C-alpha cells in the first residue's frame, strides 16, 4: 500500500512539474511565436495595400481576419471552438466569405489559409489536454477527406468573433502632428 501511495505522489509531482513547465515556458513561447507570425502576415497585407495604392474588400477582410487571430483567438480554448462546431451546423459560408472567395487573389487566399492554420494552433496550445483529443479527430478527418469542412468551420468561427480593433480617435482628442 505504501508503494502505491509513494508512486502516486511521484506521478502527481511529475504532472505538476510538467504543467508548470508547459504554462510558464512552452505556452508563452509558442503563443508569441504564432502571434509574431500573424503580425508579419498582417504587415505583408498592409505593405501589399501600399504597393497597390488602393485597398480592396479582400485586403480589408484578410487584415481584419488576421487581427482577430492576433487579438481574440489567444483567449479562446479549443473546447469553445468544438462547442461552436457542434452547435452551428451551418455549412453555408457567410456573405463576406463568399465575396472574399470570389474577389481575392491567390496570395490573399493563401494568407487566409495560413491564418486559419495558425488560429487552430493557438486554440490548441490554449487547451493542451483537448489538443490531444482533437489531434486524433483531425487525423480521422484528414483520412476521411473532411478536413476542408473543419477549415470552413474554423473560418466561420473566427469570422463570427467580435472585432476588437483600437477605437478611432474622435475630433475632441488632440492629434499629434
Could you give the CA distance from residue 76 to residue 62 in angstroms, rounded to a whole number? Answer: 20
Q: What is each CA distance from 57 to 60, 68, 109, in whole angstroms?
A: 5, 16, 13
Is 166 within a domain? no
Q: Is residue 14 one of the residues assigned to a domain? A: no
Q: Is residue 13 part of a domain?
A: no
Is residue 129 assigned to a domain?
yes
Q: Record the pTM.
A: 0.74
**34 in a structural domain:** yes
Tell me if 10 is assigned to some domain.
no
pLDDT tens track for 134-165: 677 777 777 777 667 777 778 888 888 877 65
Q: How large is the average pLDDT for residues 97-112?
A: 91
pLDDT confidence tier of residue 132, bands split at 50, 70 and 90: confident
Point out the least confidently predicted range of 13-17, 63-67, 87-91, 164-168: 164-168
**Position 84 pLDDT exceeds 50:** yes
Q: What residues make up the domain containing 86?
A: 25-160
How high is the pLDDT of residue 139? Answer: 75
Inside any domain, residue 167: no
Total domain count for the chain? 1
Residue 49 lies in a domain: yes
What is the pLDDT, as a whole number, of residue 35?
94
Amino acid at each position: 500500500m505504501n508503494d502505491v501511495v509513494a508512486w502516486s505522489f511521484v506521478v502527481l509531482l511529475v504532472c505538476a512539474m510538467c504543467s508548470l513547465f508547459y504554462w510558464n515556458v512552452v505556452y508563452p513561447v509558442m503563443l508569441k511565436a504564432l502571434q509574431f507570425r500573424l503580425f508579419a502576415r498582417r504587415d505583408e497585407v498592409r505593405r501589399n495595400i501600399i504597393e497597390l495604392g488602393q485597398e480592396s474588400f479582400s485586403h480589408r477582410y484578410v487584415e481584419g481576419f488576421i487581427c482577430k487571430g492576433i487579438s481574440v483567438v489567444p483567449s479562446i480554448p479549443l473546447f469553445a471552438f468544438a462547442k461552436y462546431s457542434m452547435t452551428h451546423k451551418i455549412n453555408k459560408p457567410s456573405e463576406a466569405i463568399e465575396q472574399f472567395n470570389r474577389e481575392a487573389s491567390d496570395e490573399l487566399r493563401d494568407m487566409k489559409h495560413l491564418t486559419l492554420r495558425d488560429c487552430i494552433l493557438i486554440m490548441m496550445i490554449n487547451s493542451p489536454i483537448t489538443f490531444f483529443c482533437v489531434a486524433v479527430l483531425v487525423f480521422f478527418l484528414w483520412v476521411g477527406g473532411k478536413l476542408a469542412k473543419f477549415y470552413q468551420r474554423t473560418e466561420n468561427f473566427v469570422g463570427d468573433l467580435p472585432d476588437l480593433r483600437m477605437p478611432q480617435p474622435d475630433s475632441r482628442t488632440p492629434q499629434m502632428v
